[in-house]
Structure 1
């Protein structure tokens, strides 16, 4: 049975409350012909304005209203009206759990972010401990690059979550990030023959950071690391959008329970991967692929470098 269309009897410019008994002012709205939408009425525009997700076929924005403001979510593709209604009702349900209007707005935006992930093929499960540790390592380096070389260069270079074989790809340098527990055996896992493969015209580095899982109150949890990194990409526009998209591509979800598991970031060692470095080359015999192996860090000692990695990236290839 086809669900009732809550916008069917609205005229352009009209709005009707979603739930007359609801705690917050969510409205079905039709601000203009052909743009059915959902509106959360606010007392005023929040300052600073939170960054909003970008979903295909949707318009998500803050709008000024007479005597207040609103968060508006509008549908541009009317063929998706039935799915859009499901999205709207789910978003309202999430917002109504809020304890205040500010909390309701935050929950509404977070639920829209989850829809953003779903539409981009996001996953349902939380990150494993190993994946959390690896993401902490990448975020730690991402912050260093953003502070040293600028946020635009940093976010453009963070290519691993977007499917590239290297975690970071700069114009003339590539960096592979690995993490290990401080007390663990001195090995790191190489997940494919392409991770340490040469890239023409680029210097290649392997960065290994000791990251230990601890119990509260020591260290910082994954949400803490994400918040600290997000602050470096707060300027509105493409930089924040790319940061958000890349972050969610890792499988991170702000609603997942990462509060109890905390991480302490320790020493970092950087190696240059060049001729003689112990690795399995990408040019494998025919029929052999997807090679995984353990790399003994003791064998990498001759290739260890002491110079700042961000400075090496800035300098580019050796002259």
Structure 2
């Protein structure tokens, strides 16, 4: 059957079950203005309504299918019916993996969110080796924050993908993250004057991760590492998951890219408190100086090292300050 035939024979306000043997109640439907749609009947007595993305050319909302509540994805632009059919079948495939009707709804909305970010335009270029290494360093910190302060606060703190002044910004604490080859010269590259600059009302930390290439079967691919974090947010709130999807896309990572040619091992993490005396270029830089980039020798930072237990304490304090 052609994709455009999925809605054949249906008139306004009519629906047909996608798969009679399916586990969940997905329907092909036709709504106002002869717009084709996909509908998922909601669980009886559903007590929460998940927030929905806004996608150009689509009308996504809750409405009635007969006497029952349902989630509808309707296509406004009929010229896009082939793409819409592919989107719908992918969403149904994801939703059918849900063990319960509520889980099917979660998976349906989450997959729709993924399409939302893909349709907004992901990078077609695969991340370079150094971009992969940098993303892995930030993912390690994100996982650490999830453990200490929870997924919601952790993902809200991640600012690097959207060009924040610091990679992570918490209440009273900012962190700049660098990843380096463990055997390389002990230094890190600072790509702007702001990266190590003071922040009013917050302490600044530099976190350096050793991230090294490995030979199979050692290590994991970038996609494997991303999947670990994906699995964390898969069971978080929909808001946190949506933010994770948005920020991951902003890094340039694309699930369709093949990263199987390189595997990675995450080594030690070293933290430094950036304060008076730390080796950095002071602000403000002289008038007319632009695009400041420099390297910091890690040996010169030894006096500013922060033990892991103290770093965890500082992170935990950012949430306790909010709670009080």
TM-score by length of 2: 0.74
Which residue is equivalent to 2:173? 173
Q: Would you say 1:56 and 2:77 are equivalent positions?
A: no
Which residue is equivalent to 2:315? 313
Q: Would you say 1:150 and 2:117 are equivalent positions?
A: no
Which residue is equivalent to 1:23? none
Separation in 2, partners of 1:200, 1:41: 49
Specify the SS of the correspondent of 1:245: helix
Which residue is equivalent to 1:47? none
Which residue is equivalent to 1:268? 269
TM-score by length of 1: 0.75
Separation in 1, partners of 2:114, 2:251: 13
Specify the SS of the correspondent of 2:32: coil
Q: Would you say 1:160 and 2:160 are equivalent positions?
A: yes
Deviation (angstroms), 1:160: 1.1
Deviation (angstroms), 1:206: 0.2
Deviation (angstroms), 1:295: 1.4
* Structure 2 portions without partners, runs of 5+: 19-25, 44-49, 98-103, 319-324
Which residue is equivalent to 2:213? 213
CA distance 1:146–1:282, shift in 2 (3 Å): same
Which residue is equivalent to 2:304? 303
- Report if aligned partners of 1:54, 1:60 keep a CA contact under 8 Å in 2: yes
Separation in 2, partners of 1:171, 1:156: 11
CA distance 1:269–1:235, shift in 2 (3 Å): closer
CA distance 1:60–1:131, shift in 2 (3 Å): farther
Q: Would you say 1:91 and 2:87 are equivalent positions?
A: yes
- Report if aligned partners of 1:207, 1:269 keep a CA contact under 8 Å in 2: yes
Which residue is equivalent to 1:251? 252
Specify the SS of the correspondent of 2:214: strand
Separation in 2, partners of 1:247, 1:267: 23
- Over the aligned positions, Cα root-mean-square deviation in angstroms equals 4.0
Which residue is equivalent to 2:290? 289
More helix as a share of residues? 2
The count of residues paired between Structure 1 and Structure 2 equals 289
- Report if aligned partners of 1:204, 1:273 keep a CA contact under 8 Å in 2: yes
